[in-house]
């Protein structure tokens, strides 16, 4: 379970997160964290959507990317923006140096646990002493629970791959 002040890193996407307020600490109201991206780093690593609202405030550098309905976006130091629920989006570091932002997710559901699990797996660690397979299953279960959907994979394929679709579509 993530704790305020805890630092986690994802060497694959180039993200570092420091939790400021966790879902447990806020009684399920919000999750607040600082994200830092190395040059070329990408938040989540792929285009995605989810039913939670994300609010960003760029504290240094530049976040660039694409948000459904807005197209290409670019936000620099001091700028704020919100991504409404269920909009496809992709954000990354658009600066030559590290970019930092404060992020608030509402409602948080179990996003903090998802981040912690995925970042540990990405770093080659075994969350909670689980086998790599069990930890991967946990990450997939958390992704389903928070309704995180990769935008580039059709939903019926995602349901099949994650085991969320148990009916036989040929019937």
Q: Read off the pLDDT of each residue in 48-57 and give the average, rounded to a whole number.
A: 96
Distance of CA 167 to the CA centre of its chain: 29
This prediction's pTM: 0.85
- The tokens describing 137, both together, are 């299953």
How high is the mean pLDDT of the chain?
Answer: 89
pLDDT at 151: 83
Give the chain's domains with CATH numbers: 7-162 (2.60.120.10)
Q: What is the pLDDT of residue 170?
A: 36
Give which of 125, 148, 98 is closest to 8, Cα–Cα: 125
Residue 158, SS3 per DSSP: helix
pLDDT, tens digit, 9 for 90 and up, residues 111-157:
999 999 999 988 888 777 888 888 888 888 998 999 998 887 566 66
Residue 100, pLDDT above cutoff 80: yes
The structure tokens listed for 116 are: 């912690």
Distance from C-alpha of 126 to C-alpha of 143, rounded to nearest angstrom: 18
State phi, psi for 39 to the nearest 5 degrees: -55, 130
């Amino acid at each position: 379970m993530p704790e305020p002040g805890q630092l986690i890193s994802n060497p694959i996407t180039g993200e570092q997160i420091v939790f400021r307020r966790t879902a447990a600490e806020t009684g399920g109201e919000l999750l607040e964290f600082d994200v830092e991206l190395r040059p070329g780093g990408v938040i989540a690593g792929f285009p995605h959507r989810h039913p939670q609202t994300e609010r960003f405030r760029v504290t240094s550098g530049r976040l660039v990317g694409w948000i459904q309905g807005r197209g290409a976006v670019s936000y620099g130091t001091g700028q704020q923006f919100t991504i409404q629920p269920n909009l496809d989006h992709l954000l990354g570091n658009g600066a030559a140096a590290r970019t930092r932002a404060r992020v608030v997710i509402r409602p948080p559901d179990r996003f903090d646990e998802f981040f912690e699990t995925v970042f540990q797996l990405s770093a080659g660690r075994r969350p909670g002493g689980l086998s790599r397979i069990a930890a991967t299953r946990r990450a997939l279960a958390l992704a389903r629970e928070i309704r995180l959907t990769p935008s580039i994979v059709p939903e019926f394929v995602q349901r099949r791959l994650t085991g969320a679709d148990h009916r036989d579509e040929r019937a």
